[in-house]
Structure 1
Amino acid sequence: MKKDLSHILDSFFDDRSLKKLLHTLDEYVHRTFSPIYIPIDVRETNEEYVIIAHLPNATRDSVHLQFIDNTRLLLSVIYDEQIETIDDEKKFVQRKRTYERATKSIFLPYPVSESDIQASFQDGKLIIRLPQRKTFIPIE
């Protein structure tokens, strides 16, 4: 009886349709409950204040930057990916589409006008530059 039960359990968990269902469920839970994290670096010099958002899988068209009031930016990134796998031998086509949106509020260190903000995107990094408004006092 033990052998039969373990064989039944093994065959149950070896079933490909069940594995696919569990994989799909795992992907759904991961996408639903794992928000996309957008890492941000800040650099400050005497001349400018630089904010760098790291977006390695984003394209220029998927990145949107919105000016809110004069103290905040809203960064939105849309990841829309379509993958199609074709196996000619088995005449099998698999299509997979993922759509994710991430947003992040970026609070500015001081009020600025929209015309003072410069933004560029290259190599998966959104670089936002503001003129420096702080006055640094040399300490002797």
Structure 2
Amino acid sequence: MKKDLSHMLDSFFDDRSLKKLLYTLDEYVHRTFSPIYIPIDVRETKEQYIIIAHLPNVKRENVHLQFIDDTRLLLSVVYDEQTETIDDEKKMIHRQRTYERATKSIFLPYPVRESDIQASLQDGKLIIRLPQKKTFIPIE
């Protein structure tokens, strides 16, 4: 009985159209209800305060960094992707376009001037550098 039930479930989920439907539903739920998350790391040295936003596979023209005031930056990232599948045998073309936009406020640890901020995109990481304004006291 247990093997029959297992076999029935396997054959039920082996149906290609059902698998495609489940995949499509899963993709829809993921894209609709899960916000785009932009992971941020912060590092401090005696000379700089460094903010690193991880943006894998994002093109430079899709990243926008805006100076809001002296203690906040607004990072906007646009994900615009097109995929096309061509099946010559069935003479069918499937096109899909995904457009998503993510924004994140980055609060700075102290007021800075816009001219003191440096930003660069390298290897999927947006690196934002600020001059260090904290005073570090050496401990002996």
* Deviation for aligned residue 1:35: 0.9
Separation (CA, whole Å) in 2 of partners of 1:102 and 1:12: 35
Amino acid across the alignment from 1:41: D
Task: Compute the displacement of 1:124 (Å).
Answer: 0.6
Residue 135 (structure 2) aligns with? 135
User: Once the 2 structures are TM-superposed, how far is the Cα of residue 104 of structure 1 from its aligned partner?
Assistant: 1.0
**3-state SS of the aligned residue for 2:37?**
coil
Give the aligned residue type for 1:122: Q
Query: Is 2:38 the partner of 1:38?
Result: yes
Distance 2:36 2:43 in 1: 23
| Equivalent residue, structure 2, for 1:4 | none
CA distance in 2, matches of 1:71, 1:93: 49
Q: Does structure 1 residue 74 correspond to structure 2 residue 74?
A: yes
Q: How many residues align?
A: 133
Question: How far is the alpha carbon of 1:27 from its aligned partner?
Answer: 1.2
Name stretches of at least 5 consecutive residues in structure 2 with no aligned partner: 1-7
- Whole-Å Cα distance in 1 between the matches of residues 42 and 16 of structure 2? 50
Output aligned runs, 1:52-67, within 5 Å. 52-67=52-67
> How far is the alpha carbon of 1:99 from its aligned partner?
1.1
Paired position in structure 2 for 1:3: none
* Structure 2 match to 1:102: 102
Change over 3 Å in CA distance of 1:12–1:75 after alignment to 2: closer
Of all paired residues, the percent bearing the same amino acid is 82
In the alignment, the residues of structure 2 paired with residue 126 and residue 100 of structure 1 have an alpha-carbon distance, to the nearest angstrom, of 18
Residue 15 of structure 2 corresponds to which residue in structure 1?
A: 14
- Structure 1 runs not aligned, ≥5 long: 1-6
> Counterparts of 1:12 and 1:132 in 2: how far apart (Å)?
57
Q: TM-score, normalised by structure 2?
A: 0.85
- Say which SS state the counterpart of residue 61 (structure 1) adopts: helix
Task: String of CA shifts for 1:85-109, please: whole Å, max 9, x gaps.
Answer: 1111221111111111111111101
Q: Give the RMSD, CA atoms, in angstroms.
A: 2.1
Give the superposition deviation at 1:34: 0.8
